[in-house]
Each structure stands twice: as C-alpha cells, then as structure tokens.
Structure 1
Amino acid sequence: MADVKTGNIIDDIVADHREFESVFTEIESAGEPRTQPELVEHVIAGIVRHAVAEEQYVYPAARRVLPDGDKLVEHEIEEHSQAEEVMKAIEKAGTDDPKYDELVREMIADIRHHIEDEEEKLLPQLREACPAEELGKLSEEFHRAKKMAPTRPHPMAPDRPPANKILGPGAGLVDRLRDALTGRNT
C-alpha cells in the first residue's frame, strides 16, 4: 500500500480507506478470494498498520478533543478488534480451507462498515475540533507509527496507550522479519 502523506490526518486516513476499497474491489472481481491470496495478505498488512497507528495517535486525540470521544473511540476499537479476529482466522485458515473465501468476504464487509462509521462520525468531528497544526502533527505521528507497526493481526495485543506504543514496534519488527523470511509481500 502506498503511504499517502497529505499533511492532514483526516485526509491521510481517508486516502488509506480508498486504497483498501480499491484492493477489495480487485479481490471481489476475481470471484473467489482464494485466487488472490497475495492481495488478501497485502490488504491485511495495510489494515493492521493503519489500525495500530490510529489506536496509538488518532484515537487518543479524539478522546481528548471530542465531547463524546470516549464513546466514539471505544466503538472504533471494538470494530478493530472484531476485524482483527477475522483477519487472524484468515491467516490460520489458508487458501485450502473451505471457509477462506467466506472469511475474506466477512473481513471486507467489516472493514467497509468501519470505514463508513469513521467517515460519517469520528473524522468529521475530529476535523472540526482540531486545529490544522494538530491535524498535521497527527499526520506525521500516524505515518511514523505505520512504518513501525505490526503487519499481521495480533488480537491479544493491547490497543490503548501506553502499552500499544511500547509493544507495537516490537511486534512490528518480528512481523517484518517473519514477512522477509516467508517472502510475504507487505
């Protein structure tokens, strides 16, 4: 996935969402996701990085600046957790498992729902509540976090600061080493 840097966290997140949607459309056009395992792995790695970066920087900012920030963020984190469970199931299943295609379709539906929620509720409020300088700073932190983030789902990993900021880079390093050893294109 290209790491689009706009200098505004809201626009960065939306750019990632459009990339995910593009890959989803490509996977769906193949008919059976099992025929596109490289694309499935690629989009999972991108989604995991994106989610980790949101949890480390964007969601804490939303909690701080939005009147209903805690409620909105808890909902988003719950959606991340659900999607991560499905992504882990895809990883465990492999393309030979009869459930693989169904799991990929479930992941796509979950992520589409999450994108819709974020873009309709959280992101417009965050854009309104944060000054441009803060949105720019969040953009920088988001991209830095994505570079260090894990590339594989870790459903049991912490999803709230400070633990996720401490453990995330270590898991990311292990994942990148594992990706290199297995030839996984992330």
Structure 2
Amino acid sequence: MEPGGDVIVELAADHRELEDLFSQIELQPVDHPRRRELADRLTVDLVRHTITEELHLYPVVREHVPHGAALADKELADHAGTERMLKDLEDLSVDDPQFNDTIAKLKFEVASHVREEEHELFPKLAATLPPKTLDELGRLVRRARETAPTRFHSSLSSTPPAGRLLVPGAGLVDRVRDLLRTTTR
C-alpha cells in the first residue's frame, strides 16, 4: 500500500477536518468576516468530500455491502440536504442572523451523517471488502482529494475559467461541484 490509509481512514480524516472547520467558525465573533472565509472553505471541503464519496465509496457500497443500495441512497439523500444548506449559506452575509442558524443546522446534519457513516457504513464496508480493496479505494480517494481544489487561491481569481469557478458568490456550490466532477474523472 502507498502512504496514506484505506478508504475508511481517508474519509474519517476528512470528517475530522470538517469538524475542525466548524470549530474554527464557532470560535470567531458572530459577525466577523473570517466566518465567511471559513464557511466558503467549509463549502469547498464538503463538496470535495461528498463528490469523492459519490464517485468512489457509494458505488462500492451499493454493489458489495448487504443492503448497500438502501445505505447509499440514504447517504446520497443526506448529501442533497447538505448541498441545499450550503446553497442557502452562500447567499447569507455573516451579519444575517440566518447565517449562524444555517451553520448550526449544517453542523448538526454533517455530524449526524458522519456518525452514521463511521458507526454503520464503515464497519459494514470493512466486514465485506478485503483490505486490498479498501486500500485501493483509499488510493482513489487520495487522488481525488489531490486533484480537487480545497481552498480559494487569490492567484486564480483573475484567471478564467478557474478563477470564476472558485470566487465566492452566486453559484459557489454548483461551480465547485461542476469543477470537481470534471477534475476527478
């Protein structure tokens, strides 16, 4: 196995990074502009994570894990709800009371999704697939993570098309999702 971990280790590491971003947001004063920056980074990281799962994890779960189709469908439904909240968050300024409410709801939903994956889906996956397959999935997840943008880069802001795709503003979730889908294929 190359450096890194199997798919479970890799995705659990993503979960810890998302938890850390939520904590960083909560540490900022309520209307501080840094909250917007962190929320945008959270958006990019969540979109990157969900696309990675949709491309590499859920097809395997659907095919190999007992009752995997139902599990994958539940996880995909969770992703759709998260995406809706991210779209709502995108249109809010940090001084809008709905910004804090949306962050809190998003944190709750992501935490619930993480618990379900780590306590139900991951153990079933580990019990079903051989370590070699889990390692290969981990490699695919790492590759997807490495090729996908994970934060905003000021050097790209004036360079189309990447700059237009990564700047905060209307359609951030859709632009990031579209960009990540094309870079992970």
TMscore range, shorter length: 0.7 to 0.9
- CA gap 1:113/1:125 in 2 versus in 1, 3 angstroms: same
What corresponds to 2:96 in structure 1? Answer: 97
How do residues 4-153 of structure 1 correspond to structure 2 at under 5 angstroms? Answer: 6-32=4-30, 35=33, 36-149=35-148
TM-score by length of 1: 0.75
Q: Which moved more, 1:53-62 or 1:16-25?
A: 16-25
Q: Distance in 2 between matches of 1:116 and 1:144?
A: 25
Tell me, in whole angstroms, the C-alpha distance in 1 between the residues paired with 2:127 and 2:53.
18
User: Does structure 2 conserve the Cα–Cα contact (< 8 Å) formed by 1:8 and 1:139?
Assistant: yes
Q: Which runs of 5+ in 2 are unaligned?
A: 152-159, 177-185
Q: In structure 2, how many angstroms separate the alpha carbons of the residues matched to 1:111 and 1:83?
A: 7
TM-superposed deviation, 1:150: 7.5
| Percent of matched pairs sharing the same residue | 30
TM-score normalised per structure 2: 0.76
Q: Which structure has the larger Rg? A: 2
Against the structure 1 CA distance between its residues 33 and 22, is the aligned structure 2 distance closer, same or farther, given a 3 Å change threshold? farther
Quick one: distance in 2 between partners of 1:34 and 1:100? 12
Q: How many Å separate the matches in 2 of 1:76 and 1:14?
A: 15
Deviations 1:80-136 (A, max 9, x none): 100110001101223243311111111111101110111111011111111111111
CA distance in 1, matches of 2:31, 2:17: 17
Q: Return the letter of the residue paired with 2:123.
A: P
Q: Which sections of structure 1, spanning at least 5 residues, go unmatched?
A: 153-173
